[in-house]
Amino acid sequence: MVNFEWFRTFKAIYETGSLTGAAEALFISQPGVSLHLSSLESYVGYKLFDRTSRKMVSTERGKILYNYIQESISKLEEAERHFHKSTEKDVPTISIGMCFETFQFTLESYLPTLPFNVIIKFGEYPEMLADLDGGILDMIVTPHKGDYKGLEYKPFFKERIVVLAGAQTPTEEFNELLKTKNLNQIQTWLKAQTWYGSSGDMEHLRRFWHINFGKRPDFKPNFIVPNMGSIIRCLSDGKGIAVIPDFLSKKERDSGNIKLLWEGYNKIENTLYFGTRKKSIYAEQVGMIQEIFEREMV
């Protein structure tokens, strides 16, 4: 009978490219890795790797096997991490899904103060909704509501998508253009500026441009940075503009390092929701997290 650990070891060898790397990743001995691999190769009846002096190179059959098992093994490993009993008695662990910037702005600084363990997951909203419904996550922060019958949503904040500018950006001419409501001249001024964008999310810019100018933006940002937090740091007390949710820059705007350039003639607002299961054994812990968000964002 095949042993699950053989497949886990095979996956580790495939991803690390060596027996040593797999042993380090799995916290087992290298002879143990070799034994698992030879047992699996004997079971399937063919070689899974060609051994070279530097690395383990997957055979074609090995590639087929990896593609077949990789997703299933990853899901089992994730379930193992999620449901593993805490080494500390009576200390619950809750899992929360949200976007990276929301985590940084609200919850990150509070983690050391919480009387329970927290696992944070970043990802796409459809995936987080599915994980919430499936019990992998206990709460999510989302602008989208799904059709899962076992979930409920509590609105707690409206984010506004706006154009922000660094404090050193000359904006007098633009403010005069806004009074004329000449869309062509406003577009021309905006496109002449230094733009920042995020590699993870350009949807805000596309949506803002379409709603206010009736078309997609016909330019690309000058600088693409990892996330919206990076945009805020680049703009702070400098020159340049970007389209991002207004709440992310609250501290910098209060200090005068970033200024609100334009909310648009047609304002864009997204309602943020706490998504939870209707029945949860972690209602108390989830409630504490929600209180932090409401205190920081409302």
Beta pairing, strands 268-277 & 93-97:
unpaired
Question: What CA–CA distance (Å, rounded) separates 16 from 4?
Answer: 19
Please give the pLDDT value at position 189.
97
Instruction: Please say if the pLDDT value at position 1 is more than 70.
Output: no
The 10s digit of each residue's pLDDT in 179-188 is 999 999 999 9
Question: What CA–CA distance (Å, rounded) separates 96 from 292?
Answer: 13
249-256, long-range: CB < 8 A, 24+ apart: 249/164, 253/164, 256/167
Q: Give mean pLDDT, residues 123-132.
A: 89
User: CA 163 from chain center: how many Å?
Assistant: 22
Specify burial of residue 167 (Cβ count, 10 A radius: 0-12, 13-18, 19+): middle
The 10s digit of each residue's pLDDT in 149-180 is 889 999 999 999 999 999 999 999 999 999 99
Question: What CA–CA distance (Å, rounded) separates 235 from 252?
Answer: 9
Question: What CA–CA distance (Å, rounded) separates 193 from 199?
Answer: 19
Q: CA geometry: angle at 107 spanning 158 and 264, to 5°?
A: 30
Please give the pLDDT value at position 89.
54
The 10s digit of each residue's pLDDT in 91-121 is 888 999 998 888 988 999 999 999 999 999 9
Instruction: Please say if the pLDDT value at position 86 is more than 60.
Output: no
User: CA gyration radius for the chain?
Assistant: 25
Return phi, psi of residue 140, to 5°.
-135, 155
Go through 266-294 and write b for each residue having 16 or more CB atoms within 10 A of its CB, e for each that does not.
eebebebbbbbbeeeebeebbeebbebbe
Domains of the chain: 4-83 (1.10.10.10), 93-152+273-297 (3.40.190.10), 159-270 (3.40.190.10)
Task: Kindly give the residue spans of alpha helices, DSSP state H, lying in 134-238.
Answer: 172-180, 183-191, 203-213, 228-235
Question: What CA–CA distance (Å, rounded) separates 283 from 64?
Answer: 43
Q: What percent of the chain has pLDDT over 90?
A: 62
Question: What CA–CA distance (Å, rounded) separates 292 from 12?
Answer: 39
Token couple for 61: 């059959």
Cβ neighbours, 10 Å, residue 83: 10
Please give the pLDDT value at position 90.
66
The 10s digit of each residue's pLDDT in 264-296 is 999 999 999 999 998 888 999 999 999 999 998
Higher pLDDT, 65 or 2: 65
